[in-house]
């Protein structure tokens, strides 16, 4: 599974708050895929084509 690193402070939220909220992503589009099953876990405007910034 593809994972995004996070700070320990992010874990301090309660289970109810975490389960009900969406990931905070600062991008116009995003997709998280389980690489073992190829299932999309989360997507936000997955068809939006964006240029990669370097």
Residue 25 is predicted with a pLDDT of: 67
- Phi/psi at 11 (5° precision): -80, -15
Residue 8 is predicted with a pLDDT of: 47
The percent of the chain in helix, strand and coil, each rounded to the nearest 5, is 20, 20, 60
Alpha-carbon gap, residue 51 to 33, rounded angstroms: 20
Listed residue (31, 30, 9) closest to 18, CA to CA: 9
Sequence spans of domains, the chain: 28-54
Tokens 């997955």 belong to which residue?
A: 46
Tell me the three state secondary structure of residue 41: strand
* pLDDT tens-digit map of 1-52: 555 554 444 455 555 555 556 667 677 788 889 999 999 998 888 888 877 7
Model-wide pTM > 0.75: no
- Phi/psi at 32 (5° precision): -115, 125
């Amino acid at each position: 599974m593809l994972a995004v690193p996070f700070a320990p402070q992010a874990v301090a939220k309660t289970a109810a708050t975490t389960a009900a909220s969406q990931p905070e992503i600062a991008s116009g589009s995003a997709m998280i895929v389980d690489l073992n099953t190829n299932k999309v876990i989360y997507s936000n405007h997955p068809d939006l084509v964006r240029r990669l910034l370097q």
